[in-house]
Amino acid sequence: MGEFWYTNTDIQPDGAQLDNNLLRQLAYGGPFSVPHVAANLLEYRSFRKVIESDQDEAPGDEVYWGGAGRQVWTNTNGVTRGPHPPLPGWYRKPADARVMVPF
C-alpha cells in the first residue's frame, strides 16, 4: 500500500457503484485530482517517508489533514516501508492542490 486517505462523504456523487473512470482517476491521479473528493478529504497519508504520526512534519506532500485535525498513528507491529510504487507525472499531491487566496 503506497498511501491511505478517507473522506467524510461518498466519493461516487450519485451514491451508486463506483464508476470505473473515477476509480482509475483516483488510482493514477490520487484523491487531489478529483475536486469533489479533495474538498471532502479528512486525512491523506503517503507512506513514502514515514508511517507513524509522531514523525510527521507540517502538512505538505506526504500528509494532509482536514477539519477533523491530525490523527495519531502508531506503528504497533513494526511495519517496515519498501519502495513506493512509481507515480505518473500528473499525480496530484496535497501541496499541488493548494490554491492561492487573494487578499
Could you tell me which residues come within 8 angstroms of residue 85 by beta carbon, excluding any fewer than 6 positions away?
Answer: 2
Q: To the nearest whole number, what is the mean pLDDT of the chain?
A: 78
Position 101 confidence tier, pLDDT thresholds 50, 70, 90? very low
The answer for 26, left when phi > 0, alpha when psi is -120 to 50, beta otherwise, is alpha
Q: Examine the pLDDT at 4 and tell me if it is beyond 80.
A: yes
- Report domain extents, the chain: 3-97
Higher pLDDT, 7 or 83: 7
Residues 38, 27, 94, 80, Cα dihedral to 10°: 130
Mean pLDDT of 44-57: 69
